Each structure stands twice: as structure tokens, then as C-alpha cells.
Structure 1
Amino acid sequence: MSKIDDLTRLKHIRDAAAEALFFIENKTREDLDTNRMLSLALVRLIEIIGEAANHVSESSKTKYVKIPWRQIIGMRNRIIHAYFDVDLEIVWQVITQDLFPLIVEVEKAIEDLES
């Protein structure tokens, strides 16, 4: 069993998601094709989010049902196993459409666990 608790893992998810959103400020989808450092950084942050989610306890996953655990972990698995065949269109979509709502739900879980 990991010594890192769910609260810490949720903070890792929040922080990595926020950093990804920060990295895309003033960027376009086309920047992923031309800026290798940006695309690698974003892929890595998605991996971190998925890895942290994968280690959250089943009880917390059951408690915080608005967090799409299965999809987050599935995305991580896809990126890890298709390391040179990552679809940057999907990466862009995840970051621009899914991360802000994820941060909102993760923040709620963090507040609940801290209270």
C-alpha cells in the first residue's frame, strides 16, 4: 500500500491539470505540432494525472463519482503504451475541454477531505 494518501494524490491531479492549463495559455492546437517541448510537457502532465488517479483508493473513487476516474486512468494507459503514437488532437481536446471541469471536481474532493 502506498504511503501517499488520497488527499495528496488529489492535489497532484489538481496541480498537474492547472500546470497544463497554464502551459497552453496563448497557445493554439497547431503549437502542439510545432513545439515539441510543449507537446511532451502536456503528455507528461496527463500521465501524472492518470497515475495519481490510478492510486486513489477505491473508497474515494466511489465517494467522488463526478470525477471520471476510469477515463482519466484509461487516457494515462493509452499515452503510456502508445508513447510514439499519441494523438495530439485528443491531447488538445482533453486539456482544453476536460481539465478545467476536472479541477473543479477535484477541488471539491480536496475541500471535503481537508474538512
Structure 2
Amino acid sequence: MPPTVEDRLRDILEAIVEIEALLAGYDFARFTADKTSRMATERYLEVICEAARRLPDEMKKDASSIDWQAMVNFGNRLRHAYHATDVGIVWAIVQDHLSPLKSFVEGRVRPSS
């Protein structure tokens, strides 16, 4: 059975929480120097981008401040041009774009029972 919208939202939220935990206390220099954390972060971002790509357009319209197309494009870059991923862009996404996405998702995920 394919993932539901709720599944995709939970995947996004889980990946964001994992990135936050992984990079707690990091600055850009430490992130740049830690290949394992960079690669894990890129994988979590790939999951986020893929899950977000498959959210209904009607839902995405509720968050016009999120650049959904840029997210899709970045996910494609992670999958197909992984060798040319700019660590500065990855860091900027983590620092500037995950928080609004997390708020959006948290407002739509049903509490776990």
C-alpha cells in the first residue's frame, strides 16, 4: 500500500528531528569537517524533498512561504548530481528552511496514539 499523506508528513517531521539532533551544537566549520554528518544530513534532506514532492498541491498552497519547487529541485540534485552538492547550500537549508517546514508539518500531523 502506498504511503498516505499522513505517512509523508511524519517522514518529513522525523527527518527534520533527526537533523536537529544530529547537528545540535554544530557550526558551519564543524559541519563541513564532518563527512558522516554531512552525508546523513543530505540523506535526510533527500527524504524530506521526496515526501514533500508527493504532498497534495492543495496542502502546499497553505504554505506559500515555503518554496516547494526549490525543494523538489534540490531533491533532484541530491539524487542525480550528488557529486556536485554544495555544503554551503545544505547548511543554509538546515539553518534557514527546516524550521518553517517543521511548523507547517506539525500543524497537520495527527498526534500519535
**Same fold at TM > 0.5:** yes
Name the counterpart of 1:47.
Answer: 46
Structure 2: give runs of 5+ residues left out of the alignment: none
SS across alignment from 1:27? coil
Task: List structure 1 runs of 4+ shifted beyond 2 angstroms.
Answer: 57-69
Partner of 2:85: 86
In 2, distance between residues paired with 1:42 and 1:13?
13
Residue 4 of structure 2 corresponds to which residue in structure 1? 5
Q: Distance in 1 between matches of 2:7 and 2:73?
A: 21
Asked whether the equivalents of residues 60 and 68 of structure 2 are also in contact (C-alpha less than 8 Å), the reply is yes
Taking structure 1 as the reference length, the TM-score comes to 0.84
The unaligned stretches of length 5 or more in structure 1 are none
Q: Distance in 1 between matches of 2:58 and 2:103?
A: 20
- Which residue pairs with 1:26 in the alignment? 25
Which residue identity lines up with residue 20 of structure 1 in the other structure? I
Identical-pair percentage = 26
Q: Do 1:64 and 1:109's aligned partners in 2 also have CA atoms closer than 8 Å?
A: no
Could you say if the C-alpha distance between residues 101 and 63 of structure 1 is closer, same or farther in structure 2, counting changes exceeding 3 Å? closer
2:52 & 2:24 partners in 1: Cα distance? 25
- CA distance, structure 2, for counterparts of residue 74 and residue 109 of structure 1: 24
Taking a change above 3 Å as real, the CA distance of residues 108 and 66 of structure 1, as seen in their structure-2 partners, is farther
- State the TM-score, normalizing by the size of structure 2: 0.85
